Structure 1
Amino acid sequence: MSAVALVTGLSGVVGSGALPLLTGSFEVVALTGRRPLVSGCEQVAVDLRAPRLGLDASSFALLAKRADVIVHMAGNVDYSASPQDLHAVNEGGAAEMTALAEAAGCPLLYVSTAFAGRHTQAAREAEVGALTPARPSAYHRSKAAADERVRQCAQPWSIIRPSIVMGDSRDGTMPQRQTMHQVLSMMAGGLLPAMFGHPGQLVDMVPRDYVAQAIHQLALDAVEGRPLPREFWATAGPAALTWAQWSQVLQRTLADAGRPIPAPLQLDPFSVEVTDYPGWKDLSRAHRRGMANLYVASLALAPEPFPSSFGNTRLPELPAFDNALAHSLLARDITWLLQRSRPHPQAGR
């Protein structure tokens, strides 16, 4: 009989990639929120904000009794959400899932973010004022608070830290476009003659199937009684591309596709204001908001690399990251996007 895995977040970008792996090895019970799964696995509706996940005491105890491992991937990832909402779901949800793991007496895997410690840029974010409600630092703070909740778990636990998630390593497939895909699409269409980012800042990106395979292997290790790493860094680490390299890969890939663009101007967000963007006064309100979103998002990037756990794990099918691999993965991601996007008209102001 298969071990039972209680899993949240299976409808997300990483979760949907992990779902077929987990269902192949476990009896998966999906703990769902607002979006039921289109899947054959058992589903239980929960509320991450509520005590006992919104379940009555008996239902909570019965659920805990079934669990052999818990994988918590769900959360609020909306940069524009209020700090209160972010903490209610992210920190509060981590606390409730920790309580569930303790009631079950089983290991807990929690998918956090590599950026959880990066929230000192909040003062710079505030300078955009009403241009955008996006405050990535508030999200990063809520995830750091969630991490602390998990660290208090009396059962074995591991925190998984993905960086910026890109499409699958095989072909770039991605179920939902992310912020980076929007940047790529706008640049390919000539809508971004400049971008916010210092040439030396690292743009750490990792394929979603790499993250999914790490989660799957850690879940297997957990039920088989193997020691769990306190942190698993699902990142490119020192092999991550700089903004300058990222831009070069984009230009080369677009040129190969017959859609060449000039090298975009790179504006260091810590040295310029968002209003220093070229032609700011002539931009539409929507375009200004988009630039403000990119400005605050770029503030979390840094020239110092994250650690990386790939290459030092029981995942032999995943090669250790090096700079050449990071180049090829990004090129694949861009190619997938181009195949599914209509060319943008040139920007009008």
Structure 2
Amino acid sequence: MRELLERKPSATLALLIRDTATQSAQQRADAFIPLAERSRVKVFAGDVSQPNCGLDSAAYDRLLAETTRVIHSAATVRFDHTLDEARRTNVEGTRHILDFAGGAHQLRSFAYVGTAYVAGERSGLVREDELVVGQSYRNTYEQTKAEAEALVQSRLASIPGMILRPSIIVGDSKTGVTSSFKMMYWPLKIYARRLWRTVPGYSDAVLDIVPVDFVARSVVQLLFDEAALGCTVHLCAGPLASATIQQVAHRAMEYFNGPEPRFIDPKIFFALVRPLLFLSLWGRKRRVLRDGSAYRDYFTMRMQFDTSNAERLLRPAGVSPPPVLDYLDHLFHYCVASDWGRKSISTQ
């Protein structure tokens, strides 16, 4: 949103945001909309999983008449939802947004923000023009995002759109700022706090992460690029800028002055070591064993994401992902300074 406001000073943005039990959509939006820009940002309380995105007919018709570009990034990113729960937001929500886009007569571009992990349990190089190649999926998130992407592909003949696939999104590459401390942040936290040093994974497993500032710049750049219409683009570090788990672990050891991380074959760990530890450990370390199982598959990946379309479309505009190892210290510093999100800090 901030990228759009800065690059398009005459644009007005419409944000579709859910109410929560404690805050209205407007209150939630006010927390991140710059005060000077609030006249340019219109907030609509809605929910993509509902018919007409949960909007009343007047608001829906108004947006149909006025909208020229759509960015669809609403999704549930939880791994533990049932298939029906995940489909309600990720697939049916996408269907409702596509229906809206199809009825917006002034629409010039539609950007669907998916995930590179629609690749599921593949290995080797994953190309941007590939979706379903017989792979299985690690969780309902990956499966339903693949189903949603297939739905988008089926509509691209009638809607001027594109599919954008980021990998794991982390904090800003310059400031380290993040609003979420999930995914790679959780194992980093337990390591930094000396709760765990054993990695049930392969030292050469690939960690493809991208900073949020790169993703935001890329989405906005491609949204206004006619050459991107009809394309699928990996917003990933790719073979040139990604890192291995061992490289990231070594950098974390240096930064946090921690013990040498130990790698163990995940099949042995989960079949034999973890059950025995679960019987003998209590308290925080037992919780680490329990919670860490959600991340097991992401320590074993040996796939790389082809970024040919990304390089062709983004590099001429000066947009490219920084190498992972170049900004890890910025991420670590923000984690420590904010106490892993427990306190606010100024980045100015």
Q: TM-score range by the shorter chain?
A: 0.7 to 0.9
Q: Name the counterpart of 2:141.
A: 139
Q: Name the counterpart of 2:185.
A: 181
Cα 1:286/1:229, change in 2 over 3 Å:
farther
Cα 1:340/1:149, change in 2 over 3 Å:
same
What is the root-mean-square deviation in Å for CA atoms of aligned residues?
A: 2.5
Q: Name the counterpart of 1:345.
A: none
The structure that is helix-richer by fraction is 2
Unpaired runs of at least 5, structure 2? 124-136, 341-348
Distance 2:83 2:121 in 1: 13
Q: Are 2:162 and 2:228, in contact at CA under 8 Å, matched by a contact in 1?
A: no
**C-alpha offsets along residues 74-100 of structure 1, whole Å, 9 cap, x if unaligned?**
111122222211110010111011111
Distance 1:286 1:262 in 2: 19
Q: Name the counterpart of 1:304.
A: 303
Q: How is 1:61-210 mapped onto 2 (pairs within 5 angstroms)?
A: 61-105=61-105, 106=107, 107-118=109-120, 137-153=139-155, 154-210=158-214
Distance 1:55 1:205 in 2: 35
Distance 2:201 2:49 in 1: 35
Q: How is 1:234-249 mapped onto 2 (pairs within 5 angstroms)?
A: 234-238=235-239, 239-249=241-251
Unpaired runs of at least 5, structure 1? 1-18, 122-134, 255-259, 343-349
Q: Are 2:80 and 2:139, in contact at CA under 8 Å, matched by a contact in 1?
A: no
Number of matched pairs: 300
Q: Name the counterpart of 1:131.
A: none
Aligned-pair CA distance for 1:285: 6.3
Cα 1:52/1:206, change in 2 over 3 Å:
same
Q: Are 1:190 and 1:261, in contact at CA under 8 Å, matched by a contact in 2?
A: yes
Distance 1:270 1:165 in 2: 27
Cα 1:312/1:120, change in 2 over 3 Å:
closer
Aligned-pair CA distance for 1:212: 0.5
SS of the aligned residue for 1:198 comes to coil
Q: Name the counterpart of 1:27.
A: 12
- TM-score, normalised via structure 1 length: 0.78
Distance 1:120 1:304 in 2: 6
Aligned-pair CA distance for 1:58: 5.0
1:281 aligns with 2:268: no
Aligned-pair CA distance for 1:294: 2.7
Q: Are 1:311 and 1:320, in contact at CA under 8 Å, matched by a contact in 2?
A: no
Report the AA paired with residue 313 of structure 2.
T
Aligned-pair CA distance for 1:333: 1.1
Q: Are 2:201 and 2:266, in contact at CA under 8 Å, matched by a contact in 1?
A: yes
Aligned-pair CA distance for 1:57: 4.6
Distance 1:69 1:157 in 2: 9
